[in-house]
A and B are shown apart, each in its own frame.
Chain A
Amino acid sequence: MRRWVLALALAVAVFAITGCGGGSSGSTASSAPLSTDKTPVTITIRHPWTGDEEKLFQQAISNFETKYPWITVKTIGFPNSDTFDQQIVIKTINAGDPPDAFLSFGPDYVGQYCSSDLWIDLSSYMQRDGLSIKDFAPAAISYTNFDGKQCALPSLTDAFGLYYNKDLFAKHGITAPPKTMTELMADAKKLTEYNPDGSIKVAGFVPLQDWGQLGVSDLARMWGAKWFDSSGKPQFASDPGWQAAFEWQKQLVDFYGYDKIKTFYQGYNANEFSASNAFETGKVAMMFDGEWRTAFIKREHPELNYGTAFMPAADDHPELYGAARVGGTIVGIPKGSPHPDQAWLLVKYLSADPAYLVFMANGVGNVPTTQASGTSPDLKLPPTFQTFIDVWNNPLSSFAPPLTATGAGYATLLSTFDNNWTAGQVSDLPGGLATLDSQVSDQLALGTAP
């Protein structure tokens, strides 16, 4: 009898030490008062910054260490592509070796992190320190909160708008950037120039899926199209905004001719992040792109005479002018983080410290995420940048694709469909969209536990 009790006690102790008990232990922040324990400690954070941006990040981290002298931060980078982030997050947690905190460029999987408790809910920490999601822009909640769990916070962000080449505008007698989709279409046609052999020399606006940052959903949102209805069912077929966007897109593709615009796309799209970027070299007159392009242009083509504007809205949705897709870097604390309390100090610093946000915004040219940092007099960003701060703060801006418990893999179905559509392989648009609806709900069904 006594031996039995002893064994049980031992088992409990072992479980407590190794943490392989319920699995949910440590998935929510303890409600005990924040540890004021100032014993020296080293915490790790994994982040995808590389190159010069990584150097800036390191500098910001040493500022953090000055602020909290008892914490040493070890940073581990990882070569990033947005979906790779999520694998690293899940694999390190599963391997039982998560860092104390994560910084990720891919908010697409926050739904999964929250719903499966892979990242802990930060609410109690935030409450205690008087930080609210409302301190950020309204759009912040659309990619950091899922199922009522605030398991991530934004740390700088991306916002999207329309870049236009002022010289090309002047050459073709256009005086102001387009404000409606009809104007965008007309200007795109006017601005297009051809080579003697008939191929495209300068494209006004390339409407293809995955041209740079553009997705058909970025067009559709300008018609107010929503991905899911209130019960979470996909509504590509029933929301008329989608059909309008698809038709607009096809009309512009047909103006160029699919083969011509696809060849153009292939030729330049791979150069998106190099100095031979099509917009930076005057090969396209207008381009939907993120705020970081302002920094790229400054670095690579300072001579480029360009402007930025809001993405044009559908003619019957003027209220959407000024809103667009937003969302970018997120920070959070994984399940099993060895030092969640200290990690929270780092997460708070990376998400809400105005000095950090302004420093990084100036350095890497991303949008500062808090109200205070967005209006800071220390911001040293070009005037073209204001567009993106405004887009971020627009209450109708949001992240896309919408978070789900199973990640964002379903968005591939939309791009595949759109590629077929623009290639002219879909004869029945409403029928195709209905199929798309059922495919998306199929895809989502797989990830959902019964």
Chain B
Amino acid sequence: MRKYAFVLMLLSPWIIGFLAFTAIPMGLSLYWSFTHYDLTSDPIWIGLSNYKFMFGIGGHADPFYWMSVKNTLWIIAFGVPLRVLFGMATAMLLTRPRRGVNGYRTLFYMPSIVPRVGSALVFVYLFNPLSGPINILLNKIPYVTAPLWFGDPRWAKPALLVLGLWGIGDAVVLYLAGLLNVPRQLYEAISIEGANAWQRFRYVTLPMLTPVIFFTVIIGVIDGFQYFDQAYIASGSATLGEPNGSLLFYGIWMYEQAFQSFHMGYAAAMAWVLFLAIMACTALLLITSRRWVHYGGGMS
């Protein structure tokens, strides 16, 4: 019994924190999601109206909701695979030279800890259509009309992808560690059987990296659903989501509803839907992971 008292004591900070800053707020926000709550007067119970408004069931519909969902899915659908591909490719390049790996790794990793507000501002400058270095370069290429990037709804999200790739270093470090963990004997064994470079990658490297891929995909999806800082900075004007709603991500719209329009009830409902969506995606990834993620060293 004394042991449990001791464990409880050790855990107490987390238990208090979990109750006070997670469980109770979640319960309250669930309740508020069924109310009209503008923070200046008391919440009014309105049943499912917030959820109906969100999904446009009967009567009024949120004109921006689906736009924000689409933008968010877009950034996840392109951002996460790009991160995996580039992270893996860069890490594989890093395993090739015998010397200097640490130096390169440091350089690649550094941008990923640079404050996102700062890096977003730098990229807004780099992508500045008229005087930004990127377009100055692009315009020198004949027959190329440089896009307006953050000024054009079609190019704003791709520009954010480039910004995301710049901060890929943490994934590179993970992949590199994963690659260095692959036992050499596996390569030797498959080489004896006459495998070429592609086969070595396909049958040794890739399976051995699947735990890291899985980890980065999960983190990428969870982060992607909450995409905010970069879009907030890149929109840059008083209207969030500019240009023309193309950067109106779920997190941005929820922020607007909660802390600009002070529609607390509706924002709580949006947050719950987001939470359920993240749970569903994570569960889906976990379930499918059994089919493609290989844990442990064996190749059998």
Binding site for B on A (CB under 8 A): 23, 81-84, 86-87, 90-91, 93-94, 116-118, 210, 259, 262-263, 265-268, 270, 406-407, 409, 412-413, 415-416, 419-420, 439, 441-443, 445-447, 449-450
Assess whether B261 is in contact with A450, with CB atoms less than 8 Å apart. Answer: no
Assess whether A90 is in contact with B40, with CB atoms less than 8 Å apart. Answer: yes
Report how far A270 CA is from B243 CA in the complex, Å: 13
In the assembled complex, the CB of A108 is this many whole angstroms from the nearest CB of chain B, namely: 10
With known contacts A263-B129, A413-B63, A439-B63, A446–B266 Cβ distance under 8 A: yes
In the assembled complex, the CB of A181 is this many whole angstroms from the nearest CB of chain B, namely: 25
In the assembled complex, the CB of B87 is this many whole angstroms from the nearest CB of chain A, namely: 32
In the assembled complex, the CB of B61 is this many whole angstroms from the nearest CB of chain A, namely: 5
Return chain A residues, CB-CB under 8 Å to B41.
23, 116, 449
B178: interface (CB < 8 Å)? no
From B131, which residue of chain A is reached at the shortest CB distance?
Answer: A267
Assess whether B148 is in contact with A450, with CB atoms less than 8 Å apart. Answer: no
Could you say which of B46, B129, B130 contacts A450, with CB atoms under 8 Å apart? Answer: B46
**A-B pairs with the 7 shortest C-beta distances?**
A439-B63, A267-B130, A266-B151, A442-B60, A445-B60, A419-B244, A266-B129
Return chain B residues, CB-CB under 8 Å to A413.
63
From B259, which residue of chain A is reached at the shortest CB distance?
Answer: A87
Assess whether A449 is in contact with B44, with CB atoms less than 8 Å apart. Answer: yes
How many chain B residues touch A (Cβ–Cβ < 8 Å)? 35
Binding site for A on B (CB under 8 A): 36, 38-41, 44, 46, 49, 53, 59-63, 128-130, 145, 148, 151-153, 237-239, 243-245, 256, 259-263, 266
Name 26 A/B residue pairs within 8 A (Cβ), A-sorted: A23-B41, A81-B237, A83-B238, A83-B239, A87-B259, A90-B39, A93-B40, A94-B39, A94-B40, A117-B40, A262-B151, A262-B152, A263-B148, A266-B129, A266-B130, A266-B151, A266-B152, A409-B256, A415-B239, A416-B244, A419-B243, A442-B53, A449-B36, A450-B36, A450-B44, A450-B49
Report how far A254 CA is from B99 CA in the complex, Å: 59
Return chain B residues, CB-CB under 8 Å to A443.
62-63
Return chain A residues, CB-CB under 8 Å to B53.
442, 445-446
- With most chain B CB atoms within 10 A of its CB, the pick from A93, A94, A263, A441 is A263
Return chain A residues, CB-CB under 8 Å to B145.
259
With known contacts A83-B260, A87-B260, A420-B244, A446–B239 Cβ distance under 8 A: no
Assess whether A416 is in contact with B261, with CB atoms less than 8 Å apart. Answer: no
- With most chain B CB atoms within 10 A of its CB, the pick from A268, A439, A441 is A439
From A118, which residue of chain B is reached at the shortest CB distance?
Answer: B40
Return chain A residues, CB-CB under 8 Å to B49.
450
Report how far A263 CA is from B145 CA in the complex, Å: 10
Report how far A267 CA is from B128 CA in the complex, Å: 8
Report how far A439 CA is from B256 CA in the complex, Å: 17
From A411, which residue of chain B is reached at the shortest CB distance?
Answer: B239
Return chain B residues, CB-CB under 8 Å to A259.
145
Return chain A residues, CB-CB under 8 Å to B62.
442-443, 446
From A407, which residue of chain B is reached at the shortest CB distance?
Answer: B261
- With most chain A CB atoms within 10 A of its CB, the pick from B63, B148, B245 is B63
In the assembled complex, the CB of A152 is this many whole angstroms from the nearest CB of chain B, namely: 16
Assess whether A267 is in contact with B129, with CB atoms less than 8 Å apart. Answer: yes
Report how far A90 CA is from B245 CA in the complex, Å: 25
In the assembled complex, the CB of A443 is this many whole angstroms from the nearest CB of chain B, namely: 6
Return chain A residues, CB-CB under 8 Å to B151.
262, 265-266
Main secondary structure of the interface of B (DSSP, over half): loop
Assess whether A447 is in contact with B238, with CB atoms less than 8 Å apart. Answer: no
Return chain B residues, CB-CB under 8 Å to A263.
129, 148
From B146, which residue of chain A is reached at the shortest CB distance?
Answer: A263
Could you say which of B44, B46, B239, B262 contacts A412, with CB atoms under 8 Å apart? Answer: B239
Assess whether A116 is in contact with B260, with CB atoms less than 8 Å apart. Answer: no
In the assembled complex, the CB of B124 is this many whole angstroms from the nearest CB of chain A, namely: 10
Main secondary structure of the interface of A (DSSP, over half): helix
In the assembled complex, the CB of B60 is this many whole angstroms from the nearest CB of chain A, namely: 4
With known contacts A90-B40, A262-B148, A416-B245, A446–B263 Cβ distance under 8 A: yes
From A86, which residue of chain B is reached at the shortest CB distance?
Answer: B260
Return chain A residues, CB-CB under 8 Å to B46.
450
Return chain A residues, CB-CB under 8 Å to B239.
83, 412, 415
Report how far A449 CA is from B39 CA in the complex, Å: 12
Assess whether B261 is in contact with A447, with CB atoms less than 8 Å apart. Answer: yes
Return chain A residues, CB-CB under 8 Å to B260.
83, 86-87, 409
In the assembled complex, the CB of A134 is this many whole angstroms from the nearest CB of chain B, namely: 30
Report how far A415 CA is from B238 CA in the complex, Å: 13
Return chain A residues, CB-CB under 8 Å to B63.
413, 439, 442-443
Report how far A94 CA is from B39 CA in the complex, Å: 7
In the assembled complex, the CB of A274 is this many whole angstroms from the nearest CB of chain B, namely: 12
In the assembled complex, the CB of B58 is this many whole angstroms from the nearest CB of chain A, namely: 12
From B37, which residue of chain A is reached at the shortest CB distance?
Answer: A449
- With most chain A CB atoms within 10 A of its CB, the pick from B40, B44, B151, B260 is B40
Return chain B residues, CB-CB under 8 Å to A86.
260
Report how far A164 CA is from B27 CA in the complex, Å: 60
Return chain A residues, CB-CB under 8 Å to B244.
416, 419-420
With known contacts A263-B129, A406-B261, A409-B261, A449–B238 Cβ distance under 8 A: no
From A409, which residue of chain B is reached at the shortest CB distance?
Answer: B261
Return chain A residues, CB-CB under 8 Å to B148.
262-263, 266
Assess whether B40 is in contact with A116, with CB atoms less than 8 Å apart. Answer: yes
Return chain A residues, CB-CB under 8 Å to B245.
416
Report how far A263 CA is from B152 CA in the complex, Å: 9
From B63, which residue of chain A is reached at the shortest CB distance?
Answer: A439
In the assembled complex, the CB of A110 is this many whole angstroms from the nearest CB of chain B, namely: 15
Report how far A408 CA is from B3 CA in the complex, Å: 60
Assess whether A447 is in contact with B259, with CB atoms less than 8 Å apart. Answer: no
Assess whether B129 is in contact with A447, with CB atoms less than 8 Å apart. Answer: no
Return chain A residues, CB-CB under 8 Å to B266.
446
From A271, which residue of chain B is reached at the shortest CB distance?
Answer: B130
From A113, which residue of chain B is reached at the shortest CB distance?
Answer: B40
From A106, which residue of chain B is reached at the shortest CB distance?
Answer: B238
From B149, which residue of chain A is reached at the shortest CB distance?
Answer: A266
